[in-house]
C-alpha cells in the first residue's frame, strides 16, 4: 500500500499537546485535542485537520484562515485571527514554516522506519515512484506525492504520516546550495539515490559542480548511497564517502546493470543484472533509455532494503508512468510525445533522442524555453538547436525568447509562437499522418496548453482536445 498526503483522514495522528511539544507554540483557544492531519491549502482543509498558515513573498495563508476553519479543526498561525470560534483550536507560533518542519522532524524522530531519499537533476519523480511501487508489493509505504519535494512539500508529507507505514520514499529537490542538507535535517534518510547531475536551476547554483555538491549533501546523513555509474561527475564526487556505495548503469561497469535492452513505443525490455543475486528479465511500461536507468536506480535501492528479484520485477512492471513525462499519444495519425512537465538541457536531449528513435515520418519539435539557467541560457539553447540539427528534426515550433533567438540556427523549417496556445494553433495546422511530435519546455512555459487548451489538463484526455 502506498500513501501520499491524504486529506480525507479521520484517525488521530497527533494531539495538540504533541504539537506544542514539537513547535514550542502556544494554544490561544482550544477545541478538539485530536488532529487527523495537516493542510496548507484552505480550500482542501478537511474536518479534523489543522490548517498551517504559511507566509510567502506573494501570499499569506493568514488571509484564508477563516475559510479553512469552516471545515477544519483549527489553525496554526503567527498572526492571531479575530473571532476564530470557540470550538476551534488556534495555535500560535513565531514562524509557521519552521513549525511545519518541526512537526515533521518530531514525527520522523518517533518513527524509526527506513527512509529513502531520492535526489538528482532528472528522473527523481520517476525513480521515487518506482522505488515505492517495488516496496509496496509487501509493505505500507509513505511517499511524497507529485513533486512535493521542497522545504514545504516534504515536511507536509512526513507530518501527515498515518503511523502504519513501514518505509518512507521521499523525493528531495533543490534550487540552491544547502537545500538538500536542510531536507536531510528534517527527514534523516537512511539510504539515498542520486540519479544524475545536469544543468538545472543554474541561476541559484552558478555551476554544475555546485549542483552536484548540493545533491551530495545527502552523503552526510545516509549509511548507503546508490549512484549512477554512467555520470562521471557524480562518481568523482563520492570518492571520500566512507559509507556503502552501490552503483548502477548501462554504459559503465556497475553493481546493477541492464543488458539486451529492447526499446519499444510503449516501454522497454531488458535483462536486470544484479551483484550475486542472479539476473531477471524486466518489461517496463515506460519508454526511453533514461527510464531503464531509473529502473536500475530503483532496483538498487530496493535490493539494499531486502526486496527479492521477483518483487523488484513486479514493482517495476506495475508502474505505468508519471503524468506529463514522456506520455505517448496517437492523435490524428501522429505519434505525440507529451513530456511537458519540465525541461533542462539533459532532459531535452534525452527526449529528443527518444523522438528520433520512434520517428517514422516527419519529426516536429514543439519546444519552450529552458528556464533558470542564468548565464548559461544562451549557450544551452544554441546547443539544443544543434542537437535538433544533428538528429535531423524537420520542423521546430519555438516558444519563448531564448528559443526564438536560438531557432535562427535551425537547419529545418522554424516557426516562432508567442506562447503555448500559439504553438498549439501552428501544430494543428501542420500535424498529419505519420508525424512524430515532441512537446517539451520548462514548467513556467505552460507547454501542456499545446495539448490541452486553456482551462483543461494535459494527460490522457489531451488527445481528445486535439
In the chain the domains, ranked by start, together with CATH numbers, are: 12-96 (3.40.1390.10), 111-318 (3.40.1190.10), 327-465 (3.90.190.20)
d(CA 369, CA 25): 44
CA-closest candidate to residue 140, choices 122, 172, 114, 120? 114
pLDDT at 270 over 70: yes
CA-closest candidate to residue 132, choices 2, 290, 313, 283? 2
- pLDDT recorded at residue 1: 59
Return the percentage of the chain with pLDDT > 90, whole number. 82
- pLDDT recorded at residue 466: 36
Least confident of 34-38, 141-145, 412-416, 448-452: 448-452
The residue written with cell numbers 518512507 in the block is 168
d(CA 118, CA 301): 10
Sheet holding 413-417, edge to edge: 327-331, 334-338, 436-440, 363-368, 395-399, 413-417
Whether 337 and 328 have beta carbons less than 8 Å apart is answered as yes
**Residue 39: beta bridge partners?**
51
- pLDDT recorded at residue 199: 80
Query: What pLDDT digit, counting tens, does each position of 359-389 carry?
Result: 999 999 999 999 999 999 999 999 999 999 9
- pLDDT recorded at residue 54: 98
What's the mean per-residue pLDDT of the chain?
A: 92
The pairing of strands 334-338 and 327-331 is: antiparallel
Using the Cα atoms of residue 319, residue 322, residue 325 and residue 328 in order, give the sign of their dihedral.
Answer: positive
- pLDDT recorded at residue 236: 96
The answer to pTM > 0.85 is yes
- pLDDT recorded at residue 366: 98
DSSP per-residue letters across 93-133: -S-HHHHHHHHHHHHHHT----EEEEESSSSHHHHHHHHHH
- pLDDT recorded at residue 83: 76
d(CA 78, CA 95): 6
| Mean pLDDT computed over 349-367 | 96
- pLDDT recorded at residue 272: 99
- pLDDT recorded at residue 460: 38
- pLDDT recorded at residue 205: 79
d(CA 194, CA 87): 47
pLDDT at 78 over 90: yes
Q: Please report which confidence band the pLDDT of residue 463 belongs to, taking 50, 70 and 90 as the band edges.
A: very low
pLDDT at 6 over 60: no
> Phi and psi (nearest 5°) for 447?
-70, -15
DSSP per-residue letters across 130-191: HHHHHHTTTS-EEE--TT--STTHHHHHHHT--S--SEEEEE---SSTTHHHHHHHHH--SE
Q: Please report which confidence band the pLDDT of residue 421 belongs to, taking 50, 70 and 90 as the band edges.
A: very high
The residue written with cell numbers 537547419 in the block is 411
Least confident of 40-44, 70-74, 93-97, 404-408: 70-74
CA-closest candidate to residue 279, choices 254, 300, 259, 295? 259
CA-closest candidate to residue 201, choices 209, 211, 193? 211
Return the percentage of the chain with pLDDT > 70, whole number. 94
d(CA 241, CA 303): 21
Which residues, in sequence order, are CB contacts of 207 under 8 Å at separation 6+?
none
| Mean pLDDT computed over 75-85 | 86
Whether 400 and 299 have beta carbons less than 8 Å apart is answered as no
Q: Please report which confidence band the pLDDT of residue 204 belongs to, taking 50, 70 and 90 as the band edges.
A: confident
pLDDT at 4 over 90: no
DSSP per-residue letters across 414-456: EEEESSHHHHHHHHHHH--TT-EEEEE--GGG-TTHHHH-TTS
CA-closest candidate to residue 319, choices 51, 54, 127? 127
Helices and strands counted in the chain (H then E):
17, 23
- pLDDT recorded at residue 431: 95
> Which burial class, exposed, middle or buried, applies to 164 when counting CB atoms under 10 A from its CB (0-12, 13-18, 19+)?
exposed
Please compute, for residue 198, the number of CA atoms within 13 A of its CA located in the half-sphere on the CB side. Answer: 22
Q: Which helix (H) or strand (E) holds 358?
A: helix 345-358
Amino acid at each position: 500500500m502506498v500513501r501520499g498526503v491524504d486529506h480525507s483522514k479521520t484517525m488521530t495522528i497527533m494531539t495538540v499537546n504533541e504539537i506544542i511539544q514539537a513547535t514550542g507554540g502556544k494554544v490561544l483557544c482550544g477545541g478538539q485535542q485530536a488532529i487527523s492531519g495537516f493542510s496548507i491549502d484552505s480550500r482542501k482543509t478537511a474536518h479534523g485537520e489543522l490548517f498551517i498558515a504559511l507566509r510567502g513573498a506573494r501570499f499569506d495563508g493568514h488571509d484564508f484562515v477563516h475559510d479553512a476553519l469552516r471545515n477544519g479543526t483549527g489553525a496554526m498561525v503567527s498572526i492571531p485571527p479575530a473571532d476564530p470560534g470557540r470550538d476551534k483550536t488556534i495555535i500560535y507560533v513565531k514562524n509557521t514554516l519552521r513549525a511545519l518542519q518541526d512537526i515533521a522532524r518530531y514525527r520522523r524522530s518517533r518513527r524509526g522506519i527506513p527512509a529513502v531519499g531520492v535526489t538528482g537533476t532528472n528522473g527523481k519523480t520517476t525513480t521515487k515512484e518506482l522505488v515505492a511501487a517495488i516496496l509496496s508489493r509487501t509493505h505500507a509505504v509513505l511517499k511524497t506525492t507529485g513533486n512535493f519535494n521542497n522545504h514545504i512539500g516534504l515536511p507536509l508529507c512526513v507530518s501527515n504520516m498515518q503511523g502504519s507505514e513501514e518505509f518512507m520514499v521521499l523525493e528531495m529537490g533543490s534550487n540552491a546550495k544547502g537545500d538538500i542538507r536542510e531536507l536531510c535535517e528534517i527527514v534523516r534518510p537512511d539510504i539515498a539515490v542520486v540519479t544524475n547531475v545536469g544543468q538545472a536551476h543554474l541561476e541559484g547554483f552558478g555551476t554544475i559542480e555546485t549542483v552536484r555538491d548540493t545533491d551530495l549533501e545527502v552523503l552526510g546523513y545516509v549509511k548507503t548511497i546508490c549512484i549512477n555509474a554512467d555520470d562521471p561527475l557524480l562518481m568523482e564526487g563520492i570518492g571520500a564517502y566512507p559509507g556503502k556505495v552501490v552503483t548502477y548503469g548501462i554504459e559503465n561497469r556497475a553493481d546493477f546493470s541492464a543488458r539486451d535492452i529492447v526499446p519499444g513505443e510503449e516501454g522497454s525490455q531488458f535483462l536486470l543484472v544484479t551483484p550475486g543475486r542472479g539476473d531477471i528479465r524486466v518489461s517496463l511500461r515506460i519508454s526511453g533509455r533514461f527510464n531503464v536507468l531509473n529502473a536500475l536506480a530503483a532496483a538498487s535501492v530496493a535490493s539494499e532494503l531486502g526486496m527479492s528479484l521477483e518483487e523488484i520485477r513486479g514493482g517495476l512492471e506495475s508502474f505505468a508512468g508519471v503524468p506529463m513525462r514522456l506520455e505517448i499519444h496517437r492523435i490524428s495519425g501522429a505519434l505525440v510525445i507529451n513530456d511537458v512537465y519540465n525541461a533542462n538541457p539533459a532532459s531535452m536531449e534525452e527526449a529528443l533522442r527518444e523522438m528520433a528513435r520512434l520517428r517514422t515520418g516527419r519529426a516536429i519539435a514543439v519546444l519552450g524555453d529552458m528556464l533558470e539557467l542564468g548565464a548559461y541560457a544562451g549557450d544551452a539553447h544554441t546547443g539544443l538547436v544543434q542537437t535538433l540539427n544533428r538528429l535531423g528534426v524537420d520542423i521546430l515550433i519555438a516558444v519563448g525568447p531564448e528559443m526564438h533567438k536560438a531557432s535562427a540556427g535551425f537547419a529545418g523549417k522554424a516557426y516562432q509562437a508567442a506562447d503555448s496556445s500559439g504553438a498549439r494553433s501552428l501544430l494543428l495546422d501542420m500535424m498529419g499522418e505519420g508525424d512524430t511530435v515532441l512537446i517539451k519546455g520548462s514548467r513556467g512555459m505552460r507547454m501542456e496548453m499545446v495539448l490541452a487548451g486553456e482551462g483543461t489538463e494535459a494527460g490522457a484526455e489531451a488527445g481528445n482536445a486535439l
